[in-house]
Structure formats: C-alpha cells, structure tokens
Amino acid sequence: MSPEGRVSADERAQMVEWQLRRRGIEDERVLAAMGRVPRELFVPPDLRDGAYADAALPIGGNQTISQPYMVALICEQLALRDARLEDRAPRAPGERVLDVGTGSGYQAAVLAELAGEVHTIERIPELAESARANLAAAGYADRVHLHVGDGTRGLPECAPFAAIAVAAAALEAPPALYEQLEPRGRLVVPVGGSDGQWLEVVVRTPEGPAVLRTVPCRFVPLVAEFSAPADG
C-alpha cells in the first residue's frame, strides 16, 4: 500500500471510531462497510484532504456528499442484514436496495457492501456521469446499477425493494417510493423544510405506513423532474 493509501486507511479507521462508533452507530456491518469504502474517491480532487472531515462537502450542481455519520445512520436505519442471520432470512440474501439521489456515488458504494443488489438514481446527468466514474475507480462499477431520472418516482420496473434510502429532503415521504417497498420494507428519508428536518424511517406494514422520527438533519431539497426515469 502506498503512503497515501495508508493515510486514507488510517483516516477511515479514525472516522469509524470517533465519528460513528462513539456517536452511537452500533451495526457492525455498517461500521465495517464505512471502513472499506474509500470516501476520498467520491469527493472533488481539491477537497480530498478533507474527505474524512465530520461534515458534508460540496460536489457541484448545488449538491453535497453527506456527512459520514449521516450516511452511516441512514444505512443502519435501513436494517439490512447478512444472509447468515437466520432470524432475518426472509429478507436475505438478495435484498434489493434503491438509493435516491446518487450525488457522488458514495452512499451507493456503502450500500453495495451491505445489500445483494443496489440501484441508484440521480436527476442531474453530469453528476450521474461523475458518480459512474467514481464508482468505477473505487471498484463498484459492477455492483451498483446507476439510473438517470426523477428519484421521487423511484424505479417501479425494478421494485419491490427491501429498503429505499433518500439523500435529499422532502416535505413528506414520497408516496411512490413507499409503494415500491416490499412488505416490512423500510424507507429512510429526510422530511421537512427550511424551518427544520427530521430523518424519518417509514416501514411498510399491513396496517399502512409506520413512521419513526429519529434525529434532526439538514439535506438539500428533493427535486422532482416529472419525467420517467431512464437508464443512464
């Protein structure tokens, strides 16, 4: 490993310990995934020295790569489980996950460490192409299916999903995304406006949506393009 690679690995280990584990992230699979994905490959070159800072970073197009803690929290709240855990066997090993708001591709890469099949959708073509290059550079080109289109509509042709993660804030959980969940599937989405946002976990149950608010958060707005999603 090059000196630069060793520095990045050390920074990842410190991030996992100080920003995640000591802040309450408990899922060992999520912690391990965050320790494996090279975050520095998903930020602009001029910001790579701060790739492991405890902050969101700009990636262009008025979009950001989320704070490491928020990525880990979203992934933990999705409750994805290893196929070896027999009590969750009905949802494993082929858990299909949708990541709405690809951005730089970082969260999709983390999800690829946790799920059997990952689809991610980005509305800005230029960001989608950049994310595609980032995912390839990090070794995830064959593990993440990237689409360009309106994330609020999801990907009905690929549904149902065991879990859906949204990396932008909506005034309410998008109904189309809820309808694309499998039974007991989870939608994790920031909900709220300029006066405040909460990370919501919405579980699909026979009785309807079961909603849990977790922590305050701050995300860019979720934008609908009112066009059908298409492969990028």
What's 26's DSSP letter?
A: -
Pairing of strands 196-205, 117-122: unpaired
Active site residue: 2, 8, 66, 104, which one?
Answer: 66
Q: Among all chains, which residue has been given the structure tokens 């409750």?
A: 79
The amino acid present at 196, given as its one-letter code, is G
Torsion, Cα 217 210 103 229, to 10 degrees, reads: -150
Would you give the DSSP letter of residue 54? Answer: S
CB 111 within 8 A of CB 118: yes
Cβ count within 10 A of residue 42? 26
3-state secondary structure 31-66: HHHHHHCCHHHHCCHHHHHHCCCCCCEEEECCEEEC
Q: Give the list of residues 6+ apart from residue 9 with CB closer than 8 angstroms, or none.
A: 1
Residue 194 known to be catalytic: no
Q: How far apart are CA 81 and CA 92, in angstroms?
A: 7
Closest CA to 216 of 69, 106, 100: 69
- CA separation (Å) from 98 to 44, 118, 187? 24, 6, 9
Q: What are phi and psi of 138, to 5 degrees?
A: -90, 0
Write out the catalytic residue numbers.
Answer: 66
